[in-house]
Amino acid sequence: MSKLDAERIPPELRHRVPPGQTLTQKWPVLHYSGIPMFMDMSKWQFRVFGEVDHPFSLSWDEFRSLPSVRRTSDFHCVTTWSRLDNRWEGVLFATLAERAKARPQARYAMLHSFDGYYTNVPLSWLMADDVLFAWSHDEKPLSEEHGGPLRLVVPKLYAWKSAKWVGGIEFMNENKRGFWEERGYHNRGEPFLEERYSYQETEETRE
């Protein structure tokens, strides 16, 4: 971020804006391919599988009847924009992990989306109280272009970890790389440490 950009950020917000980021009120749309079509929500299914004692699938109605929460959080995209104070409503990742009885040796998850996208996140980050599968943003139903009917939100990692059109969680013993993580992006992606690219990885963040 240039000095001028940094100066445009109001002083009281600066601690919330990671290095190299600028603020936007708009909400840019970014994805690698197209928006998947959900012609028929009666066929939508959310799958929880892998290293769990109790794998399960949920229909849309079943997913919507899980206990839900509201959270307000900031969103940081690696392409250098940040959008503060997004209001989300949905189901905590932890609610699904507890229901699936993730095995003790499961330390990572791959999030799978209906457009073929996938992204990996350590469970220690996903179990945080601000990580949720959201169907609503700023009091409106989540639009298709932003991942509706359902997306993951991981506020403390770069936005490519927040899988849109998400349809499944795979619990894993070992970390595998996701779509962008295989294409030069950082395995972890912590914005305040500016973990943008894979060449910045350390022993700890690569495993």
Task: Cis check for the bond before 19: say yes or no (omega within 30 of 0).
Answer: no
∠ at Cα 196 (194, 18), nearest 5°?
30
| 160 scored as a contact of Mo ion (CB under 5 A) | yes
Looking up tokens 């290095």 gives 19
Cβ-based nearer residue to ligand MTE, 98 or 182: 182
Cβ-based nearer residue to ligand MTE, 102 or 159: 159
What residues numbered 155-184 form the site for ligand MTE, per CB under 6 A?
159-160, 162-165
Q: Binding marks (x or -) toward ligand MTE, 50..89, rule CB under 6 A? A: ---------------------------x------------
End-to-end CA distance of the chain: 29
CA 54 to chain centre: 23
Cβ-based nearer residue to Mo ion, 160 or 171: 160
Give the β-pairing of 81-92 and 22-23. parallel
What is the binding site for ligand MTE (CB under 6 A)?
27-32, 77, 113, 115, 117, 146-147, 159-160, 162-165
